[in-house]
Amino acid sequence: MLFNSYTFIFFFLPAMLILWWWPGLSRNQRLALLTIGSYVFYGWAEWWYCLLMLGSTIIDYVAGRRLAPDKPHRERLAWLLVSLAANLGLLAVFKYAGLMARSVNLVAGWVSGSGPELLEVPDIILPIGISFYTFQSMSYTIDRYRKRVPETESLLEFAAYVAMFPQLIADQLRAIPTRLTASRVALGLHFFIFGLSKKLLVADPIARAIDPLLKHWEWLSFGDAWLSMTGYSLQIYFDFSGYSDMAVGLGLWLGFQLPQNFDSPYQALGFSDFWRRWHITLSQWLRDYLYIPMGGNRQGLPRAAAAILVTMLLGGLWHGPSWTFAAWGLFHGLLLALEHALHRLKLWSPPAVLVRLATFIAVVLGWVLFRADSFPMAAHLWWVMVGGTGIAFVPEAQPFLLVLATLGITWCWMARNTWDGTASLRPRRAVLLALLFMACVLVMTRPSPFLYFRF
C-alpha cells in the first residue's frame, strides 16, 4: 500500500485513526491494532510478505530474551549469531541471491571465455521494506548483546515496534498516549501534506521529465546530461524526504514523535555534513553498528579510512542488489575518507560557499552511479558531464524540466526545513495546506511507488 494513494488516505488511514483513538481501548488492544494494521499495510500487494516479517520478529524476540545480561557469554554470543544469521539470511535470499548468481556467472564467463551459465538467476520479488524491518529488528538484538537496552516486555510490543508502517523508536511504545492534542493534529497536517506535495507535485513531475531522457542516455548532450542528473538529484530528495515527512505526520496523529530523517542535505558543507543530513536514521545506523565497531576514528588515519570505505560500500549495497549501488557507496566512502584526511592533516580550508557548491556537484555526480542501470551507462554519463563530448550548456530538453530544476535547487538551498514548521494552523496557513492537498488529490490518479520502497 502506498502513502500517496486514495486507498491509504481515504480508507486505511481514517479507519486506523478512528480505531486507534477509540475510547476505552487497553494498551495491548492498541498494540494489537497497530500490529495488524501494519501487517495489512505491508501485505497489501503480497500477503506472504507478512510471513517474512513475522519470522524475523519471532526469532529476534526469542533471541532478545536469551540475551539477558546474566546469561553466560558463550550463550549470548550464540543467540546473537542466530539473530544475525536469520536476518542477513533473509536479505541474502530475497534481495541478493540474484546479484550473487549473476556475479558468479559473469566471473565464470570471464574465466572460461564462453559457455553456459553456472547458476540459474532466481526470479524473486523483493518484499517491500525488507531492508528496513530486518535492520530495525536486528539492531534490537545487537543492543541487547551490548547490554544497552532492556528486554522488550512482550512479543506484541516487539511486533508493533518492528512492523509499524511509520517507523518509530521503541521506547515510545512503552507509554502510549491516551489523547490526541490539537497541536499534534496541526503539526501532523503540516508534515503529511508537505510530504505528499513533495512527492506528487515535485518529485513525480521531475521523474516524468527526466526518465525519457535517461532512457536514451547514449544521445545526451553536455547540457542535457547535467540537467537530467540534477533533476534526478532533486527527484530522489523530494521523493524520499516527502515519504519521511509523511511518516512523521502519521506518527504525530498516532501520538508519537518520529526522529528527523532529513536536514536540508543539499546545503551541506562537505561530505561528512551531507551524511549527517541525508537519511539520518540510516547514517546513524551505519555509524553505530558498522563504523564504530570497526574502530571508527580512534585507531589512526589508515584504520579510519578503511572503516569508512567498508561502511559506505555496505551502505551502498543496502540500497539494492546491484554493483552500481556498491560503487555509489564506495564513491562516497572515498570522498569521506579524503575529507577526513584533509581535516585531520589541516591541509585545506576553502570558503564555505565553495565547499557547499563542490559538495553538491560531487553528490550529483555520485547519483549517476545510483541512477544508472549499468556501469557503461554511468561511465558514459560521467564522460559527457566532464565535457568529453564537448561543452555547450544549451539543454535541448523541454523548458519545463529546466524550470523545475531551477526552482528545486533554489528550494533546497534557500527554503526553510520542514522541521521548522509550526503547530499553529492560522487561516492563511490552513488555506495553503488545503490547496496543496486538493492539488495532490487531483494528480493522485495513478500513484507511483516511492523510490526507497524498492530498498
Q: How far is CA 264 from CA 248, 356, 412, in A?
A: 16, 12, 7
Q: Smallest Cα–Cα separation from 133: which of 203, 67, 46, 35?
A: 35
Contact 234, 405 (CB under 8 A): yes
Q: Smallest Cα–Cα separation from 27: which of 176, 250, 153?
A: 176
Q: Is 319 a catalytic residue?
A: yes
Of 319, 332, 340, 380, the catalytic one is 319
Contact 236, 303 (CB under 8 A): no
Give DSSP secondary structure letters for 359-390.
Answer: HHHHHHHHHHHHH-SSHHHHHHHHHHHTTTT-
**Sign of torsion over alpha carbons 287, 356, 382, 399:** positive
Buried residues in 353-384 as b, exposed as e (16+ CB within 10 A): eebbeebbebbbbbbbbbbbeeeebbebbbeb
Contact 77, 107 (CB under 8 A): no
Contact 141, 83 (CB under 8 A): yes
Q: How far apart are CA 139 and CA 133, in angstroms?
A: 10
Residue 297: what residue type?
N
Rg (CA), the chain: 23
- State the maximum Cα–Cα separation within the chain, in Å, rounded to a whole number: 72
Contact 221, 213 (CB under 8 A): no
Q: How far apart are CA 455 and CA 453, in angstroms?
A: 5
Active site residues: 319
